[in-house]
Structure 1
Amino acid sequence: MTERLPEGVEDAQFVRILLLEDSDLDAELAEAHLRRAGFRYEIERVMTQADFEVAARAGCHDLILADFRLPTFDGLRALELARELCPEIPFVFLSGMLGEDIAVEALKGGATDYVTKQRLDRLPAVILRALAEARTVAERRRVEQALRDLNETLEERVAERTRELGAANAELQRQIEERERVELVLRKSQRLEAIGQLTSGVAHDFNNLLTVILGNIAFLERNASDPAVQRRLGLMRSAAERGATLTAQLLAFSRRQKLEPKPIDLNETVASMRDLLQSSMGGSIRIHTALQEGLWPALVDPTQIELVILNLAINARDAMEVGGTLSVETANVQLGSPRTSEEPPPGDYVMIAVTDTGTGMSEEVLARAFEPFFTTKDIGKGSGLGLAQVYGFASQSGGGVRIDTRVGEGTSVQIFLPKAVQAVAGARPLGGASASVLGDCVDGRPRVLVVDDDRDVREITAGLLSGLGCQVVEAGSGRAALAALDDDHGRSIELLVLDFAMPGMNGAEAAREAKRRRPDLPILFVTGFADMAGLLAASDAVEEAVVQKPFRREELEKKVRAVLRRSNQALQPSASAP
């Protein structure tokens, strides 16, 4: 049965009540008190144990009101069933003959409260209190359950948070290490760059000195007839040439050497060097090659790469005991971000690696391996320029170097060279032998303007050219050379021989101004080091138009002849010209 309050009644509370009562009168009296109290209610009344069990098991009530004395079973049994089937629903006894001792026993059994039928006016208040207590108990249970759930997941959440913090810490540590590595690479790169600038300047000055020494030795050798004097001059030439080799290595490290890169097959290069490597290694060292099929062509100076391979092989020989193995490997590689300052940027490269089974390098030695003049060999057994030369050559070629080493197990030096766009060119037939006199390529005695700020070097160059049959005009600077070209005799000058590194106006700048005045004037550079970009901008053919100091008379003659021949061919009218 359901009773609804008239409109306008405030604070009405809707209550679903399970009423266990066998008396119709008592049931009506209970409802009357609920109505007077302003309750909105719904009552489901049962009278037997079976009906009570069904209703209690449904669990859809807010309150149970139960009589204590029933025909088929008593209130204590009903309380026991309620605690078993719906323990969260408050249970209130409503009885006319409930003694004190029974009431206490009922409360101990789990009853929420009790009301005697003689005091039904207390029923609304008891119901409100029972419902409030039930809500409090339910809230407490909810909080307790939430706390249990929290405790159960706390360990997991702590572990998850610990993992997150560990990952964040690892990422931070990785960033710190990466920053330190980049800073270390940058400092090392800056240090090597500074050393390179210093060594290039020193090499230039030494090349000037060696040019004077070797030039004067050549003059003395032609005029000396005493065998003892000839022997001493030979010793002097050998010492000067060793100095020239050292300066060439310095120029290689500082990336100032003159390179002539061409597309080449490194597999063919290694195969052609096998006999040379075996003879250099001796019979006790085994040579193993691993050449990749389908190797990309490499854009590199063929002569210099052979010298680099031989250099590395000799270093490997010195690091191995008797019976070691030297391995030479080629491969196509695709590199990612560089790990050291010596490695090249990401991209496709042709790799050649020289590996030994020697003593290896420690971390301290590896950190300084590319520094010029750093060596672990005994005094007199190494200049410390080998790996510096390899690094400079690879960098200037557009590649880089990597060293993998382990103490007691050996070292692998990997050189990465740029991949050539063009295929390897076939062998070109060599031209005939050059004539011994300049008259073969020009008529009469060519008039040559020699420009060098170093008087001694200028004198040697002029003397050699005079010995070749040239008429020589000298100038000590770029501006003086331009003034000589502008005077009355300037039009008779057939060749301009320029030092590249000069104060004020360098050779490239002087060449550009000279070409503006005389576009057809051939130019030959004589230099202690070469800024190839500047030379390319100022000359027509770098390969034929550069003489590296210190030079021999034969080399100077060959380059002068080539430049003049090319100039004369350019001036000849074509067969189809009118």
Structure 2
Amino acid sequence: MSSRPLRLLLIEDSEDDAELLLRELRRCGYELSHTRVETPEELRQALCSNTWDVIITDYALPGFDGLAAFAQVKQRGLDVPFLIVSGKIGEDVAVAAMRAGVHDFVLKDKLGRLGPAVTRELREASLRAERRKMQEQLMLSDRLASLGLLAASVAHEINNPLTSLMMNLDFTQQAPAHRKLNEDEGQALREAFECAERIQQIIRDIKIFSSPEEQQFGPTDLHRVLDSALRMAHNHVFHRALLLKDYGEVPRVHGSEARLGQVFLNLVINAAQAIPDGHRDAHEIRVVTRMDGGAVRVEIHDTGAGIPPELHERIFEPFFTTKRAGEGTGLGLSICRRLVTEMKGSIGVESKPGQGSTFWIRLRAAQEAKVVEAVKAKATGQGLGVLVLDDEVSVGKALKRLLRARHEVVTFDRAQEALAYITSGHRVDVILCDLMMPEMSGPEFHGELERLAPEQARRIIFMTGGAFTEESRAFLSATHTPCMDKPIDVQRLFSMLEALPA
């Protein structure tokens, strides 16, 4: 029989009884690494200093008993097989022990049961750990999926009218000199545009934290994601601490905005929750970025309560939490570690009670390919023929109003009407097409054009307010068709139109 390693914490005041128990476990094929303790303080130190595969205790001990020992283990949130081995135990005590959560009890005159009981409880503990891991993954997937659906819906519903609003404001700002606004009118227009841009930024921040399907990692702007996380966490932070940013010169990192956004938002909110209310000027949360060798390091410092050294690793375990009941699931830091690990990074904490905490993350610097732009500009200098297809009539009107000074623009709010226009013989230089429409989606419209007028299908630039289906996402990936987010970046749109080949 091959030996099985076993880290055993033995709570026993009798050296002779301890030796009998160890001999029985060795006989059952266990290679023991064990520590024997006798007092509550020794037990506390052993639980803090090491991890254990199984804990076995006598029932009657000097100064405390097996149930008090189990209460210490349970208080720390440890899921370790816990067995009572006693020379004499009454039925009422046995029942109380099992109700408390003790996994089994064995009489000292029947130690032949000990080895099989330990084997069984180790197997059950392994199964519980697997179930927790699966549950954690399901909860993560459900959380991200729910956020993704919510963000896509919110973004789509807001971005369409916001697109029209911002383009109309931009059009108004470009008013000819002879219709120049007075000072108050100009200031009102600028403030309206700034407010619209803030709404646009809020929608973008929401989308960053809610892309459950975004599994592809690539070069990611770390500071942009951090700024979004800090804006999202503002209501948790501003009444507890001063927020300070100490950004260094760092390259893009290997990761994804959605995954990093989840991590940073969780860590910043945790930092705020570690600080008591009502003393904002006495506390701070400092976010630092810097190079650490060849990696990029992010540090989130807080002046909160701090974390005992023995919990520095345990706080990353699934379902472990130091918060009061009902205030946390114990999954936040576990999810952070998993997400960072998926990006080939690492995460840890430095903290002492009463001296605050520093959570750090090391991320790989991205390997960015050099991009060479070679765009042939339209040589004629003449305006383009532009077809706008969007089921939001206001978006079509705003685009037409904005573009008609330079280009010939025709608008449609139904795909069938746009198809009829093209199949009747009309040709355009570019088609600005909404990606998600109720009667016929953008990819379906593209497919019909491929069949009826293939050269026109290659002229499409899609626009999206944030809603995607799996089919549309796969379509964009496969065809590499350009796609612009709403609200439309007007200068980028003009640049794309001017750079179209003749």
TM-score between both structures, scaled by the size of structure 2: 0.54
Counterpart position of 1:246? 202
Q: Tell me, what secondary structure is at the counterpart of 1:509?
A: helix
Partner of 2:391, secondary structure, is coil
One-letter amino acid of the counterpart of residue 454, structure 2: R
- Distance (whole Å) between structure 1 residues aligned to residue 463 and residue 189 of structure 2: 25
The SS at the match of 1:225 is coil
Q: Which residue of 1 aligns with 2:73?
A: none
Query: Quick one: which amino acid aligns to residue 158 of structure 2?
Result: F
Contact residue 286 and residue 323 of structure 1 kept, 8 A: no
1:454 paired with 2:395, answer no
Aligned residue number for residue 475 of structure 2: 534
For residues 318-349 of structure 1, give each alpha carbon's deviation from its aligned partner in whole angstroms, at most 9, with x where no partner exists. 7885577655477899xxxxxxxxxxxxxxxx
Name 2:369's counterpart in structure 1: 425
Displacement of 1:466: 1.1
Match of residue 354 from structure 1: 299
Separation of aligned partners in 2, 1:366 and 1:402: 20
Question: Which whole-Å deviations, capped at 9, do the CAs of 1:523-550 have from their partners, x for residues lacking one?
Answer: 211211264433233444xxxx222111
Call closer, same or farther: CA 1:286–1:499 in 2, change over 3 Å. closer
Does the CA-based 8 Å contact 1:285-1:326 persist in structure 2?
yes
Inter-CA distance 367–212: structure 2 relative to 1 (3 Å threshold) = farther
Equivalent residue for 2:41?
none
User: For structure 1, which segment, 497-506 or 168-177, has the greater mean C-alpha deviation from structure 2 after superposition?
Assistant: 168-177
Q: Equivalent residue of 2:396, what SS?
A: helix
2:487 aligned counterpart, secondary structure: coil
User: Does 2:199 align with 1:199?
Assistant: no
CA distance in 2, matches of 1:558, 1:310: 34
Separation in 2, partners of 1:314, 1:157: 56
- TM-superposed deviation, 1:430: 7.7
Distance in 1, matches of 2:410 and 2:293, equals 53
Once residues 360 and 493 of structure 2 are traced to their aligned partners in structure 1, the CA distance between those partners, rounded to angstroms, is 36
Match of 2:79 in 1: none
* TM-superposed deviation, 1:262: 5.2
Secondary structure class of the residue paired with 2:411: strand
Question: SS of the counterpart of 2:174?
Answer: helix
1:220 maps onto 2:155 in alignment: no
Aligned to 1:484: 421
Aligned to 1:185: 137
Q: What SS is found at the alignment partner of 2:446?
A: helix
CA change 1:306–1:232 in 2 (3 A) is farther
- Select 1:475's aligned residue among 399, 406, 412: 412
Q: Which SS does the other structure have where 1:189 is aligned?
A: helix
Rate the CA distance shift 1:204–1:458 in 2: closer, same or farther, 3 A: same
The 1:286/1:496 distance shift into structure 2, 3 A limit, reads closer
Whole-Å Cα distance in 2 between the matches of residues 553 and 286 of structure 1?
A: 31
Match of 1:498 in 2: 433
Mapped to 2, the partners of 1:534 and 1:504 lie a distance apart of 18
Provide the rounded CA distance (Å) in 2 between the counterparts of 1:534 and 1:461. Answer: 25
Residue 208 (structure 1) aligned with residue 160 (structure 2)? yes
Q: Quote the Cα distance in structure 2 between the aligned partners of 1:227 and 1:259.
A: 50
| Alpha-carbon contact 2:388-2:412 (below 8 Å) kept | yes
Query: Is 2:188 aligned against 1:232?
Result: yes
Greater shift after overlay, 170-179 or 499-508? Answer: 170-179
State the 1:472 CA deviation. Answer: 1.0
Partner residue in 2 for 1:553: 490
CA contact (8 A) 1:263 1:425 kept: no
Aligned to 2:455: 519
Structure 1 segments of 4 or more deviating over 6 A?
154-157, 256-261, 282-286, 288-291, 303-320, 329-333, 397-408, 429-432
SS class of match (2:432): strand
Contact 1:290 1:327 in 2 (8 A): no
Q: Is the partner of 1:504 in helix, strand or coil?
A: coil
Partner amino acid, structure 2, of 1:168: R
CA distance in 1, matches of 2:136, 2:329: 10
CA 1:196/1:304 → structure 2, altered by over 3 Å: closer, same or farther? closer
CA drift at 1:304: 9.5
State the match for 2:6 in structure 1.
Answer: none
Deviation at 1:238, TM superposition (A): 1.4
Could you tell me how far apart the structure 1 residues matched to 2:161 and 2:192 are? 13
Instruction: Determine if contact 1:316/1:326 at 8 Å carries over to the other structure.
Output: no
Quote how far apart the aligned CAs of 1:555 are: 2.3
Question: Residues 530 and 288 of structure 1: is their aligned pair in 2 closer, same or farther, counting only changes over 3 Å?
Answer: closer
Distance 1:368 1:441 in 2: 62
1:464 aligns with 2:402: yes
2-structure distance, mates of 1:251, 1:288: 23
Change in CA separation of 1:317 and 1:463 when aligned onto 2, cut-off 3 Å = farther
Larger radius of gyration: 1
Question: What amino acid maps onto 1:243 in structure 2?
Answer: I
Aligned equivalents of 1:216, 1:225: Cα separation in 2: 15
Identity of aligned residues (%): 20
Paired residue type of 2:393: R
Does the CA-based 8 Å contact 2:145-2:211 persist in structure 1? no
**Structure 1 478/332 Cα, relative in aligned 2: closer, same or farther at 3 Å?**
farther
CA distance in 2: counterparts of 1:550 and 1:163, whole angstroms: 67
2-side partners of 1:257 and 1:236: how far apart?
Answer: 35
Q: How far off is 1:493 after superposition?
A: 1.0
Q: Secondary structure at the match of 1:355?
A: strand
Q: 2 CA distance for matches of 1:256 and 1:557?
A: 32
User: Distance in 1 between the 2:266 and 2:108 partners?
Assistant: 58
Q: Is the 8 A contact 2:347 2:361 kept in 1?
A: yes
Q: 1:169 aligns with which of 121, 124, 146?
A: 121
Q: Distance in 1 between matches of 2:136 and 2:264?
A: 31
What TM-score, normalized to structure 1? 0.47
Inter-CA distance 304–233: structure 2 relative to 1 (3 Å threshold): farther
Query: What is the aligned residue count?
Result: 342
In 1, Cα distance between equivalents of 2:215 and 2:386: 26
Cα shift readout 1:100-151 (whole Å, capped 9, x = no counterpart): xxxxxxxxxxxxxxxxxxxxxxxxxxxxxxxxxxxxxxxxxxxxxxxxxxxx
Alpha-carbon separation, structure 2, partners of 1:425 and 1:196: 29
Structure 2 counterpart of 1:412? 359
RMSD (Å), alpha carbons: 5.2
1:89-168 to structure 2, matched below 5 A, reads: 158-168=110-120
- How much does 1:298 deviate? 5.3
Q: 1:290: Cα distance to partner?
A: 13
5+ unaligned residues in a row in structure 2: which ranges? 1-105, 231-240, 276-281, 307-320
